[in-house]
A and B are shown apart, each in its own frame.
Chain A
Amino acid sequence: MSDAGAANGALVDVRDVEKVFHRGSEEIHVLRGVNLQVPSGEFLALMGPSGSGKSTLLNLIGGLDHPTRGTVSIAGERVDQLSDRRLAAWRARHVGFVFQLYNLIPVLTAERNVELPLLLTHLSKAERRKHVETALEAVGLQHRAQHYPRQLSGGEQQRVGIARGIVTDPTLLLCDEPTGDLDRKAGDEILGLLSALSREHGKTIIMVTHDPHASARAARTVYLNKGELTREPKD
C-alpha cells in the first residue's frame, strides 16, 4: 500500500503499459501506453474486438505475464517487478481466475477442483473442506460437490470455476470471457453471480467480454482497440 496506486485509492493501477511480442524479427505491439485504474469493489468490463489485447492486459494484471514497459500495481504492490516464484505466491494469495472454457481438472470432483488453490495454503484438511463448502454454497452448487465436470452442465462447470476463483477470498477476481461458452440463460446466471459477488461481498472484478449484454451488468466498461484503451468503443 505504499505507492501511487494505493495513494490514489485504486486497487488496480496500470500505468503506461506496453506489451510487445516478437514473431521472428517482427515486433507486434499488443498494448500501447495503457493506463487503467480500478477502485476496490468495482465490477469492470473490458471490451474490444479479437486481438485487441484484452486477454494480454488481463494476464498482466493477474501477474501471468510481464509488461514490456510500464508498471502494474495491485493493492500497492508492483507485480511487474516480482520474480516468477514470488508472482506465483502472490497470485495464490490475491487473484482468482475464471476462464472462458472453465478449465476444470476433468479427473477431479467439483469439490476437489475448488480445493486446488487451498492446497497451497497451510490450512488443515478440515479447514479446507469448510472453505470449499462455503465457496460451493456461494455459487449454489453444494449439492453437486461430488460430481465430476463431465457430469455438470456448462453453466454449472463455470460456477465451479467461480467457486475455485473465490475460495481463497482473493483481492481480485479476473474473468476471461466467463459467459463466452454458455447459452444466454446460463450466461445470465453467471453474470448475476458475479454482480452479487461484487455488490454483496465487495469483490473487485475485471471481466473481459465481447458481449455488450454481459458488459451491461458491470458497473463500468472500458474498451481496448488495437492496444489502446478508450472510454468509448471505436468503430
Chain B
Amino acid sequence: MRFLPLIWSNLRRKKTRTILTLLSIVVAFVLYGFLSAIRQALTGGVSLEGANRLIVRHKVSIIQLLPVDYKRRMERIPGIAAVTHQTWFGGVYQDPKNFFMQNPVIPGEFMAMHPEFLLPADQLRAWEALRTGAIVGRKTAVRFGWKIGDKVPIQSTIWSKKDGSFIWDFDIVGIFDGRNKNTDTTALFFHYDYFDEARSFWTGQVGWYTVRIDDSARAADVAKLIDAEFENSSAETKSEPEGAFVQGWAKQIGDIALITASILGAVFFTILLVTGNTISQSVRERTGELGVLKAIGFTNTHVLVLVMAESCLIAVIGGVLGLSLAWLLTSRGDPTGGMLPLYFFPVRDMLLGLAISVALGLVTGCFPALQAMRLRVADSLRRI
C-alpha cells in the first residue's frame, strides 16, 4: 500500500495517454459484457431441471409436426417417466415487434414436467378449469401491463382458426415466475385442447415432445429407443437432451461460443498491444527515474513489481469500469423486444472478466517490467 501513491502518480504523468488507454480497455470490457449477455441469451436457457429431460422432434426439421398419439407410445418405453408436448404458435401482441413465445400445452402435465416455472396452486386450478385460460411469465406480464382476469388477443402468424381468423383470445388466469435467473419468464402457455379444436388445419399434430427420463445417465440409450420406436414411420423422430436441443437452436445462427470467442480474442489482443505499448513507452521515458529509484535502494524486484502493479492497476480500473458499464447497459433487459428473453450479463462472466483484466495487466506489464528490472543503474543514470 505504501507504494500506491507512487504507482498512481505514474499513471497521472501523461493524463491524456492514460485516459485514452483506459477508454480502450473500458470499451473492450463493455463489448465483452454485451457478447456475454448475447451468448447467455442464445445458449444459457438450459436449466438444471432439464438435465433429465429429452426433446423429441421430427427427424427432418423442428418445423415439421409429430402425431399426438406418439405420447402414448413413448410412455410405454422403459426408462421414460413422463411425456408432454408443445407446439410453436408464433403469435404477436398488437404489433409484429411485440413478439414472444406462446405455446399450447396440457396444463397439469406441463407444470409437472417444468418445475422451474413457479405457479400458485389456485392459479393452476383456474387454468385447468378454463378452456381459454392462459398463464403468462412475469416479464411479459410486466411488459404489457397484464394482470389476472385480462382478456388478451394474440395474432398467430401460422395458425388460423376454423372461422378463418388468426386472432386468438386468451384469459389470463395465472402469472408464473422463474425458479432462478436462467428461467425464461417471457412465454405464454395455453390449453392444447382449445388450440386443437379451434385450429383450421393439422389437427392432432404437435410440435415436439418433452420426455422426462428416470435416470439422466441413460439419456442416450433412451433417446435411441425412442427413435427406434418411430423408425420407418411417416414421421421419424430425433431425440436429444434438452441442453443439446437449445444449443441446436442457437447454432442455427452459428457457433455462438466460437463467434464470441473470436471477436473477444481479436479485441483483447488489440488491447494487449495498445496497453503494452503504453506501459513500454512510459517505462522508456522513465529510464532515468528508475535508475534513481535503484540508486536509492529499490531492488530489481521492487522495480519489477512497481511496473507490473502500474499495468495491473490501469487494466483493473478499465476492466471494472467496463464491466460495470456493461452490467448497467444489459440490466435494462432484452434489447430486441422479445427475441432474447434470457439476455443478461451473468455473474460468472463478470468474475471471469475481472480475472481477464488482471491477466491483461500482468501480460502487458510483463515485458516492460522485465526491461525495467534489467536496467543497470549506472547505465540508466548516464542516460539522463
- A residues neighboring B (CB under 8 Å): 56, 59, 62, 64-65, 84-85, 88-89, 91-93, 96-97, 99, 101, 103, 105-108, 112, 116-117, 119-120, 125, 164
Contact = CB atoms under 8 A, between A and B. Distances in A.
A85 to B, nearest CB: 6
20 contacts: A65-B378, A84-B299, A84-B300, A88-B302, A89-B297, A97-B295, A99-B292, A99-B381, A103-B384, A105-B6, A105-B289, A105-B292, A107-B9, A108-B6, A112-B6, A116-B6, A119-B3, A120-B296, A120-B302, A125-B2
Contacts of B298: 88, 92, 120
A103 B288 contact: yes
Interface string B1-16: 0110110011011000
A105 B9 contact: yes
A117 B9 contact: no
Contact of A64 (B2, B3, B381): B381
Nearest to B291: A103
Contacts of B302: 88, 120
* 3 A-B pairs with the lowest CB-CB distances in the bound complex, closest first: A92-B297, A107-B9, A88-B299
A117 B296 contact: yes
Given A59-B381, A101-B384, A105-B9, 16 more contacts: A62-B295, A64-B295, A84-B300, A85-B299, A88-B302, A92-B297, A99-B381, A103-B289, A105-B6, A108-B5, A112-B9, A116-B293, A116-B296, A117-B296, A119-B6, A120-B297
A99 B12 CA distance: 25
Nearest to A161: B292
B378 A64 contact: yes
B296 A97 contact: yes
A91 B297 contact: yes
Interface SS majority for chain A: helix
Contacts of A96: 296
Interface string B248-291: 00000000000000000000000000000000000000001100
A120 B297 CA distance: 7
